[in-house]
Amino acid sequence: MADAIVRLVPGVLGCGESLDIDSHADGLLSAPQYTRPEEWRGLNVPAVLLGGNHVEIARWKRRESLRLTRSQRPDLFAKARLSEADLRLLD
């Protein structure tokens, strides 16, 4: 609980934008997170995350966030404010 509260104090986070991308900050679940190795037990990190194209990575993260919220938390998804771009990502 302390961590959740302290994160709201200005200057505590190295990058203030971090709050904007926290899980539930926008009412949606976060996209999956990956680390090394790139392949583990037959599971691979999605190629888009390895490509270095930050626009494509952001698009992938948003799409996954929307997809996961829709499938795992339909109650949150029903309340989400979706843009036209979000709706296109879901198609």
Please say if the pLDDT value at position 39 is more than 90. Answer: yes
Instruction: Say how far apart CA 6 and CA 23 lie, in whole Å.
Output: 16
**The residue type at 79:** K
Choose from 2-11, 18-27, 44-53 the range with maximum mean pLDDT.
Answer: 44-53
pLDDT score recorded for residue 25: 64
On whether the CB atoms of residues 82 and 69 are closer than 8 A, the answer is no
Instruction: Say how far apart CA 52 and CA 55 lie, in whole Å.
Output: 9
Give which of 40, 47, 89 is closest to 68, Cα–Cα: 89
pTM of the predicted protein model: 0.74
